[in-house]
Amino acid sequence: MPPRGVTRLRVGTHTLDLARPVIMGILNVTPDSFSDGGRFVDLQHALVHAHAMVADGAAIIDVGGESTRPGAQAVSVDEELARVIPVIEALRRELDIPVSIDTGKPEVMRAAVVAGAGFINDVYALRLPGALEAAAALGVPVCLMHMQGEPRTMQESPQYGDVVRDVTNFLGERLDRCVSAGIPRERLLIDPGFGFGKTLEHNLELLRRLDEFAGLGVPLLVGLSRKSMIGKALGLALDDRQHASVALALMAVQRGARIVRVHDVRATHDALRMYEAVWPASES
């Protein structure tokens, strides 16, 4: 599907070309994230992993200091800052690549941008107190994600009338709210929030109809990597979900996603390069 709306996104001193699918590498510096919790809490390990992801094809690194897996407990602002700021500062020193901060807290947003982050990835869609105002003042791109409920309880019997319609309406309302607050539409992206307050069937329906989100007129970012929907659909343990994750990323790109947020950068990069060889950006 040809990209609609913004095709070039300014992130700090870098420009992401959204005419081609972009890989966002996940760098969780948390002890309890669902997939890689505890692996990269040490600064040196985090940097080694970031270097590897860039070498494998990541175009932006997403740093997260608070797990948002189902059932996760919130952490304090001070704890989140202590986890992410040293990593962001080191990434900006060592790598010539855009850095995203995965947070909903305005205090963390501000400190992260000062440290060198040029993109805000917010699972709360700027709904926490002060977040909308902070994002508007910071002047960086923001991704707004849909989540029904909050991480601790979001998987307790999520309900929708029509999941695609309901998620689209929510994201449309948040986009309008952001524009009213002074964030230009060309700095906004959306994420339907796979696995965030959705059953397996909700997730599958979102992916089947992902192209419908193009009507909102902003770039689409998706995170499907190693999600529990794979385990539920295929009966696979967490460590065995790489191949299915790559398949889901490819399906998302075919349906209009411009940024895919992934753990397995090399495998995803190779799959997308092959996809582009068959269907160049102008035709896909």
| Catalytic residue annotation | 227, 261
Tokens of 176: 């309008």
Closest by Cα among 244, 275, 221, 226 to 28: 226
Task: Specify the pairing of strand 119-122 against strand 142-145.
Answer: parallel
Largest CA distance in the chain: 48
- What's the chain's Rg over C-alpha atoms? 17
CB-CB contact of 142 with 112 (8 Å): no
Q: Helical H runs in the chain?
A: 43-56, 77-94, 106-115, 131-138, 163-180, 200-208, 228-234, 242-254, 265-278
Phi-psi region of 142 (alpha: psi -120 to 50; beta: other; left: phi over 0): beta
